[in-house]
Amino acid sequence: MKQHLHVLLRKCALSCLALTTFTQASFSQIGIFNEVEAGVSFGPSNFLGDLGGNRGRGMGFLKDNNIAQTKFIIGGHITAMPASFLGLRLAVNYGTLAGDDKIIKGSGGLEEARKFRNSDFRSRLFEAFLAAEVFPTVFFEEDPEDLYKKIRPYGVLGVGVFNYNPMGSDPLTGDWVNLKDLSTEGQGFAEYPDRKPYKLTQLNIPMGLGVKYFMNDNVSIAFEVIHRKTFTDYIDDVSTTYIDPNLFDQYFGAGSEKAQLARRMANKTDQGSSTSAGFGPGDKRGTPTNNDAYYSAGFKLGFRLGNRGNGDNYKRIKCPVMRY
């Protein structure tokens, strides 16, 4: 585990170094940015989708947040400041997302169907995004140039891309297997023309709030919460209804190892139970009207690069200041 973490940190450092070199060279040439910050971030992340959840109807967002499935995300960033009230951040992050129906605490309500579904997933996550940071309180500061021990709240909004690969635990062996190629909901089957194979690289919209504390003119620390809106319902490989399991034999070969694996992963309910026949073709497996999402909450450490003055390398863009 330690060796794996060291590798991730090394990759993150190299990425930041490359971004820093490119950013400084580019911004020095166009000469419009007041300052450039580079840094790292670390904190918990959580998945919001079909799997897992809490009592009652699955509603998405924080209502179905599962603390037990909290993972971690680390990253690096380069932020250019064309003005004191505005930052343009380029960030890369690596983490994990997960969900599990077993953790649902049933109370005899609508959540029992999700608990009986008995599905789980985990996926590594790699994302990159470009976002604007807006610091509204700058307009009320007497001297925006003075950063020493200053606190600034800010908002974040941008656009990004992320890559994932959902895996589920095999109920027979306990091994984690890739789910996309198994077409668990008939993706790519002629019988379901509206269910296309989903792509493992998707767009997202990061949005959030944070507060930044400047320890001095060159070092800052921030705490922020960023939610990612996505345009897919298949981060956890669950979206719509169960299909006829015989189709797996038809498309993957009757009795083949892949067909048998697809059967097990597509429907993990106990169909041999004496109290329930389990879910069958056409029964609800997920909620296609709600796309998946995820969020992170963590600390961001930043270091200012270059020269803060109005020299040849930087041409400051003044922001309006409200004075009394």
pLDDT in tens, 21-42: 444 444 444 444 568 999 999 9
Residue 254 lies inside a defined structural domain of this protein: no
> Is-contact 88 145, C-beta < 8 A?
no
> Is-contact 76 303, C-beta < 8 A?
no
How far is 145 from 140, CA to CA, in rounded Å? 13
Q: How does the average pLDDT of the chain come out, rounded?
A: 84
pLDDT in tens, 104-140: 776 777 778 888 899 999 999 999 999 999 999 999 9
Residue 82 lies inside a defined structural domain of this protein: yes
| Buried-exposed string 287-320: b where 16+ CB fall within 10 A, e elsewhere | bbebbbbbbbbbebbbebbbeeeeeeebebeebe
Cross-strand bridge partners of residue 96: 124
Q: Which domain holds residue 31?
A: 2-165+200-241+284-305
How far is 306 from 20, CA to CA, in rounded Å? 10
Residue 131 lies inside a defined structural domain of this protein: yes
11: domain CATH number is 2.40.160.20
Residue 293 lies inside a defined structural domain of this protein: yes
The structural domain count of the chain equals: 1
pTM of the shown model: 0.82
pLDDT in tens, 136-182: 999 998 888 888 999 999 999 999 999 999 999 999 999 999 999 99
pLDDT exceeds cutoff 70 at 308: no
Residue 195 lies inside a defined structural domain of this protein: no
Q: What is the pLDDT of residue 212?
A: 97
- Helix, coil or strand: residue 207: strand
Residue 175 lies inside a defined structural domain of this protein: no
Residue 219 lies inside a defined structural domain of this protein: yes
**What element of type H or E holds 42?**
strand 35-48
Residue 114 lies inside a defined structural domain of this protein: yes
Per DSSP, 288 falls in state T
Q: Between 141 and 212, whose confidence is greater?
A: 212
pLDDT exceeds cutoff 60 at 213: yes
